[in-house]
Structure 1
């Protein structure tokens, strides 16, 4: 009788451990994207970390504001991937870092550019994308009019302004910028651009699980455990390398 009860208990525990979750997502190649292999490298890391804990992920893609709002209200279990903030910590359980985002200045090769501090950017025509936060020091300098920033509706428009010589520099996540340039611009366009090695800002990006969904505190523990296993296996580093390797400014 005891062996039967033990087997029944183990089977029941296995059923409890298995789960399906629906997470929201957005378009940010190569990290995230509905048409990308594995829905992007960040999505792949999240899904495989959960899979190691017996959790299957289903993705739904929305505009970013809606993706965050649906998760915040508990209409979906969570959303990927986002920066940490005190405001978000009040509404979400925040995971260990999934990927790292680093913003760098893109500029034309035929215009010399170097910078070490924000004051070095004075007098330059800077493009920024509407709604983007480039870090509090930059944001404050923009509010104070110490920096001349022109905000446009999309990253692609900023790149086109840069290529046309109508702006001098454009800050963007370097890897995402390379992906956009490969998708929407020619090799001749890419050959005109360079990227400064100094990062404007660098931030870890996280999975957010809504505090409105029961069981999400425990689910986050499971995710972080799976993420640690995936990272220790070397797969996270390999996936990131595979996603970034074909991307550059070279023709």
Structure 2
């Protein structure tokens, strides 16, 4: 039996606890995707806080390094990092990465302009005539990814913020992103007049689960995955996942110089 397997077996037999002294340090690649992940936020953002605490349940400490999303995936596949925080579940990524147990579930939606002729949709084919903005390197859902691949009427930008700017300028007609991060960016980086020009297109695309991505080519990948999954289970049992969500809604994970009011009533 390999050393990694022996360590994993021993860990799973131990009672759940947060160890006083770390026995393992992991390097995790992350990106700027507030309020979920950001080096400018408390605990590097909401999801990174959960990730850190999940590993601490087994006495493992993590170090986050922020970089562009595609760089994070590539560097982790090349063995420079132990995992990526974080990604939606998409089958297209399963050849290269393990998906951990779900961390959160979010609604993926289309944003459009309030003066747009688009008021609803049933099938993605209904939107083929409209110019869609997408963010470089992102995989959204399996269905939406297939649509994007087969549809030439798409425009790629480097960031979600650039896509919102393109939407305001009329360069694109629709833009998919998750509800919370989209709303957060609109509150943080755009003024009230600009926000009034953007609305959500109904219905939402789908609910997506978020995961830690662990490279399948890593020698210790299965160990890292098992440690994290065990930690998520314990945080859930202890009620801490609800606490982290409450902290998010209370504005704990904020860019200090650009606070956002989370009350959307």
TM-score, normalised to structure 2, is 0.76
Matched, 1:149 2:154: yes
Q: 1:170 aligns with which of 171, 175, 188?
A: 175
Q: Kindly indicate which of the two structures has a greater share of residues assigned to helix.
A: 1
The one-character-per-residue Cα deviations of 1:181-212 (angstroms, maximum 9, x if unpaired) are 12211122112222134222432221123345
Cα distance, 1:126 vs structure 2? 2.6
Distance 2:44 2:114 in 1: 33
Equivalence map 1:31-42=2 (5 Å): 31-42=36-47
1:111 aligns to what?
Answer: 116
Q: 1:30 aligns with which of 35, 40, 54?
A: 35
Distance 1:108 1:85 in 2: 28
CA change 1:234–1:150 in 2 (3 A) is same
Contact kept in structure 1, 2:90 and 2:139, CA below 8 Å: no
Classify the secondary structure of the residue corresponding to 1:133: coil
CA change 1:163–1:59 in 2 (3 A) is same
1:6 aligns to what?
Answer: none
Matched, 1:129 2:142: no
CA change 1:229–1:197 in 2 (3 A) is farther
Q: 1:232 aligns with which of 237, 255, 258?
A: 237
Distance 1:189 1:109 in 2: 11
Contact kept in structure 1, 2:88 and 2:139, CA below 8 Å: no
Contact kept in structure 2, 1:178 and 1:247, CA below 8 Å: no
CA change 1:153–1:231 in 2 (3 A) is same
Contact kept in structure 1, 2:98 and 2:213, CA below 8 Å: yes
Structure label with greater radius of gyration: 1
1:56 aligns to what?
Answer: 61
Distance 2:146 2:79 in 1: 33
Contact kept in structure 1, 2:92 and 2:142, CA below 8 Å: no
Cα distance, 1:51 vs structure 2? 0.9
Matched, 1:204 2:229: no
Cα distance, 1:49 vs structure 2? 0.8
Cα distance, 1:79 vs structure 2? 1.9
CA change 1:230–1:131 in 2 (3 A) is same
Matched, 1:73 2:85: no
The one-character-per-residue Cα deviations of 1:42-75 (angstroms, maximum 9, x if unpaired) are 1001100111111111111122222222222222
CA change 1:196–1:25 in 2 (3 A) is same
Cα distance, 1:85 vs structure 2? 4.8
How many residues end up aligned between the 2 structures?
Answer: 237
1:182 aligns to what?
Answer: 187
Cα distance, 1:150 vs structure 2? 2.8
Cα distance, 1:103 vs structure 2? 1.9
Cα distance, 1:87 vs structure 2? 6.1
Query: 5+ residue gaps in structure 1?
Result: 1-9
1:160 aligns to what?
Answer: 165
Distance 2:157 2:85 in 1: 25
Cα distance, 1:23 vs structure 2? 1.3
TM-score, normalised to structure 1, is 0.80
Cα distance, 1:164 vs structure 2? 2.8
